[in-house]
Homo-oligomer: A and B are copies of this chain.
Amino acid sequence: MQTDPSSETEYFDPLEQLYGYHLRRASAVIMADLATELAPCGLTPAECSVLLVVSANSGIRQSDVGRRLGIKRANMAPLVTGLEGRDLIARAPTDGRSLSLTLTAEGETLARTVRTLIAEHEARFFGEFDAPTRAMLLKCLIKLRATAEQIAEENASS
């Protein structure tokens, strides 16, 4: 993030035609906005995503949350520990090796706050597009992720 104070000289931007670059920049700046919106709640975007998934699926296993969000086990552990330390989430062993996650009352309250906060955030950025545009955008993003994950899988197997 950085204001763009009319640079003196005109330069050619070789990245202007790269879709991936624009995707990266757009994502970065929108995530930055979300992060500042979430800061008063004491949540990072990653923590927030865990909170919402657990709120919608009480009792879900920690490993399943990680799979859903694309967060590896090794990174889920300290993340959930942090939420537990703030009494937002409760861990209960189900399996002997799996942990079942549930929100505390405080966590559920925060989840409600966060949901309206995110709804506003989304409206602010994507509300200006009409429905067909939004639909096409969503379709593109989902397809991009699918092909990327497919490629990553191929690379992993090789």
Contact = CB atoms under 8 A, between A and B. Distances in A.
Contacts of A93: none
Contacts of A77: none
B137 A19 contact: yes
A26 B23 contact: yes
Contact of A147 (B128, B143, B155): B128
Contact of A26 (B55, B122, B145, B151): B145
B64 A1 contact: no
Given A26-B27, A27-B27, A29-B152, 16 more contacts: A1-B149, A9-B64, A11-B53, A14-B53, A14-B115, A15-B52, A19-B125, A22-B141, A23-B27, A23-B30, A29-B148, A33-B152, A36-B155, A125-B147, A126-B144, A136-B137
Given A26-B144, A149-B4, A152-B1, A13 B64 contact: no
B2 A72 contact: yes
Contact of A25 (B19, B122, B145): B145
A47 to B, nearest CB: 13
